[in-house]
Structure 1
Amino acid sequence: MSEPTPEELERAARKGAGRKFFANPWIFVRGVPSMEFLPPEGPSEIAFAGRSNVGKSSLINALTGTKGLARTSNTPGRTQELNFFVQEGEFEDGIPPLALVDMPGYGFAKAPKEAVDKWQQLIFSYLQGRTTLKRVFVLIDSRHGIKKNDEAVLDLLDKAAVSYQIVLTKGDKIKAPALVKLEADTLLRIKKRPAAFPELVSTSSEKSAGIDDLKAAIMYSAGLA
């Protein structure tokens, strides 16, 4: 058996650090319906964006190991606010090291157009004006790949120079060869996008696949590992 490479050792160390970090208890802080209700800037923030029903809430629950922390629903567009989650405990200066932000789903929300427009404006204002935001993880359903409304969000992130990384969700819902092809196609599509991180993470919240890899990616992007 060959010795692990330095890159493999570093990847394993990040995954171990991620598992340890995310094992701490997490709590819901607040829901933010508009920009004036944003909490003060403090901890590094990692946001999750994606089309309605892509599985954001399920992924956050899987990351934190806390069932029901983020609300899940079969009704697209249920999440109508920016929902903030932090670790529970005592921290230096009273500031936790990281906040997770569940953003309103975009796309085919079953709601009046005025409400949808309001949610979209909230998303865009947050992305463009939050200095503590370290990276946006853009969730893409493995069964569908990048759609037109996903492209619009990637365009905005590129324009705003906000770092983002693609996360494929529901990887257990397609066959392994199809997932491998989707990964290659997705990386090719984002190759020339200036704000896109050149790696992606494939996940399944239901099977816990890729969750440790995502924890490691979050730790790295937030400067915690």
Structure 2
Amino acid sequence: MTGEEKFARDLFRDGTSFSKSVADLAQLPDDDVPEIAFAGRSNVGKSSLLNALTTKHGMARTSNTPGRTQLLNLFPVGEPPRMRLVDMPGYGYARAPKQVVNAWKRLVFDYLRGRRNLQRVMLLIDARRGVKAVDEEIMDLLDEAAVTWQAVLTKGDKLKNTGPVAEGVAQAIIKRPAAFPGVAVTSSEKNIGVDELRVTILDAARS
């Protein structure tokens, strides 16, 4: 572990806490704290990755039920906060009532388009499934809103070799104007790529 990785680990471990959940942009803090958001299909592993990043396995609530996260969940890092992690509602879950799905979409889209604090979106993609049409819809939205985003593969331990899928995702995003170069490969269960991702997030918040 490098010195920067150790600094980031200690900061995330000792300085991260749950602040609140919001259902509307008006409920978000009125400050200049940079925000790093986590987006992805329902059940892609956003909460598990947040728990791994902070080494607090009960901080973000995980569930095997897709669509459980229905609000923007805020996690300030540091005191005073150096940044704020934002766990966004998962997308692409069709079983929820239509009015609930529409409310999720409005919340997500309003946040992505209108939040000046937002520095980068970590777009989580299940390594076993690759980029799906619903992921491409979010990529289109992020590109249109000129929000810098980065592809992060989750559940990398479920594959013997993540190289081909990582390369496939890299090729899928190479011409997208708002995409940050490179694809991060992670596993919350095996702690793969977590140290490196903390540093990436910290750098993004500083930019």
| TM-score of the superposed pair, with normalisation by structure 1 | 0.88
2:131 pairs with 1:146 = yes
2:187 pairs with 1:204 = yes
Q: Which residue of 1 aligns with 2:18?
A: 28
2:58 pairs with 1:73 = no
2:96 pairs with 1:111 = yes
- 5 Å matches for 1:43-192? 43-87=33-77, 89=79, 91=80, 96-176=81-161, 179-192=162-175
Q: Is the 8 A contact 2:151 2:182 kept in 1?
A: yes
Q: Which residue of 1 aligns with 2:8?
A: 18
Q: Is the 8 A contact 1:52 1:109 kept in 2?
A: no
Q: Which residue of 1 aligns with 2:31?
A: 41
Give the Å deviation of 1:174: 1.1
1:141-171 deviations in Å (ceiling 9; x for gaps): 0000000000000000000000000000000
Give the Å deviation of 1:72: 0.4
For 1:219 and 1:27, locate their aligned partners in 2 and report how far apart those are by CA, in whole Å: 16
Give the Å deviation of 1:213: 1.0
2:204 pairs with 1:218 = no
For 2:67 and 2:153, locate their aligned partners in 1 and report how far apart those are by CA, in whole Å: 19
Give the Å deviation of 1:56: 0.2
Divergent runs of 4+, >3 A: 11-14
For 1:165 and 1:69, locate their aligned partners in 2 and report how far apart those are by CA, in whole Å: 23
Gaps of 5+ in 1: 1-10
Give the Å deviation of 1:42: 2.7
Give the Å deviation of 1:25: 3.5
Q: What is the SS of the residue equivalent to 2:61?
A: coil
Give the Å deviation of 1:22: 1.6
Give the Å deviation of 1:13: 4.7
Q: Is the 8 A contact 2:11 2:78 kept in 1?
A: no
CA RMSD of aligned residues (A): 1.5
**Structure of larger gyration radius:** 1
Quick one: which amino acid aligns to residue 31 of structure 1? S
Quick one: which amino acid aligns to residue 168 of structure 1? L
Give the Å deviation of 1:48: 0.1
Q: How has the CA–CA distance of structure 1 residues 111 and 189 changed in structure 2, closer, same or farther, with 3 Å as cutoff?
A: same
Q: Is the 8 A contact 2:13 2:56 kept in 1?
A: no
1:171-200 deviations in Å (ceiling 9; x for gaps): 011112xx1011111111100000000111
Q: Is the 8 A contact 1:45 1:222 kept in 2?
A: yes
Give the Å deviation of 1:115: 0.6
Number of residue equivalences: 207
